[in-house]
Each structure stands twice: as C-alpha cells, then as structure tokens.
Structure 1
C-alpha cells in the first residue's frame, strides 16, 4: 500500500509549480517598473501594470494546470499563496509609498496575508488547507483594485479605484477570519481530518 501511494503522488518538479515560481520571479521585475515610473511616468506605469497583470494571470494558469493534469502537490498549495502574497504585498507597499493608497489599508492587507501564511506553515504537519473560493474572489478583487491604481486612468475613471479596493479589503478581512476558523475546526477533528481538507 505505501508503494502505491508513492507512485500516485505527483512530483513537485512539474509545470504548474514552475509557473508558480515564475510568478515569484516577476515580483522584483514589477517592483523595478514601479520605482522607475515613480508613478508619474505614463509608459513605465503601463509597463508596471502589464507586468503585474501577467504575474497575476499565472495564478490562474498554475491552478488550472495543477488540477487538469493531476499535478496538485503540497508544495504547490503552499507556494501558490506565498507567490500571491509576495506580489500583492509588494504592490500595496509601493502604492502607499507613492501616496496612492492609505497606509492603514496596506497594513490591514499585510497583517492578514502574513498572518495566514504563518498559520499555514504552523499547521502544515497536519495537512495543507487549500485556499477557499472566497479567498480566490478576494485575490481577484485585490488584483483588480491594484491594477486600477497602476493604470494611468483619467480622473473620473481613476476615482473608482478606492471603491474597488474597499471591497477587496472587506473580503480580505472576512476570508482571513474564515481561514482561521477552518484551521481551528480542522485541528479539533485531528491530523487525519485536517489533511482531508486540502
């Protein structure tokens, strides 16, 4: 029986995880574009937004590859949200640094994302709890809001950015609480049940 389990386990060295690592490597490229733009240079802002969107799209690509090809691994379930948090965290810090986003918004997002990442690491021995549907919606809202801030919209359209970000922050808090509850519930059921929630 142990032998058959080893055979059916996909290798962590697969295309889905390569895409995830690629997203992590795009984070410093994105940050460099933002810094060079100073958020007041049209074409560098466009470049920063495009790099951010390309990196963000890989989140959906690696997930699709992992599920469609049976390449879901513990590494992927852990690395994927870490890659998301690195990208989102870098983006909100830079937006706040350039005065486009209130620092309290960035702090709320960072506290939630770092806290959940640490919680994932703390419970990994009992099994990795995958991101919920609400967590994915939260990510989409965050991506949309950040891209809205990055793109050099004319003022009437740019004014929608804070409203999109407000929705993203609300869902960020709600899904953070939801994840803590899921970890607590899985811990009460024991290690075997915690693993089954992945």
Structure 2
C-alpha cells in the first residue's frame, strides 16, 4: 500500500516536473527570441519576445458560450480539491503504520506502529514528573524515529525526564523491536493548572 502510494507520488511529481520544465523552456525560447535565432520549425508556438503563447482568438473562442465558464470553474475546483487531497495524504504519510522487525529466520516480521506508540506512551506517562504524553512514530519501516510530546508536572526536572525517556522507554522499545537504533525527539511543555480557591 505504502509502496504503491510512493510510486504514484513519484510519477505525479515527475510528470509535474516535466510539464513545468517544458513550459519554462518554451518561455525562455520565446522570451529571448531563441526560436528565430536557432531557426526552429515554422509552426513553433512561441518564437518572438512580443508574441503571446495563446492568441486572443484562441483565448476567447468559447467565452460567449453558456457552458464555458461553468466548465472552467468546475475544472479549477476539481483541480484544487485534488491538490488538497494530495497534500493531506502527504501529511498523513508521516505516521509510520508498521515497523520491520528482524525475527531471526531471515524473513522478518512486522510490528504495528500503533502498538509500539501505545507502549511508549504508557511507559512515558508512568514516569515521575510526566502528567501526559503523546508519541508518534515517523521515518521508514526499517529506520523508525520517535517523536514524543511530554506534559511536565510543576515539580518535574526536565533533564531527568528526558534522560529517563531515552534510557527507559525508548531503550525498551528499541530492544523489544530488535532495532539497532531508535532516534527520538522529545518536546516538553509545562502543564498549566487552574488556580483553586481555598476557603
């Protein structure tokens, strides 16, 4: 699934790059008048700096038709929606759904990313000085990375919390998954408690 999505992304990016590269090349050829200097074929679309890419007759051919503007607006709306969908899929891809684990038999196994995230979250929240934790696995299946957000209690020592996160929670996850390394990034934030009135 992820491999197929990566292939689609590469194909779309490649096609977009080819189209933009071609359009940029045409603009340069026309803007600098290189088409006339290099004696390119007579039907070349943009050969002089003062020539527009689409003549006025072609740009306004269907503008007086009743269907023209609804089609243009609908096409642009579909294009924008497709680009937003693509952007959202790219943002969602950052979450790692599975980790490749060396099972010792030469074939390997997969560990669900959410299971490891849940274990890391539970162990992080059990540490002294941590009021809440959120853990996200990113990176590649063979090289996962940990992103943790820890809500610190007022009495917590940030250095001690980070050290325990590395030496305990992350180290346990790395060993249980059979990984050589498991880089981790921790963000700390203080918990704001509401003042309580004492009578």
When normalised by structure 2's length, the TM-score is 0.25
Radius of gyration: which is bigger?
2
More RCO (CA 8 Å, sep 6+): 1
Larger strand percent: 2
- Greater helix content: 1
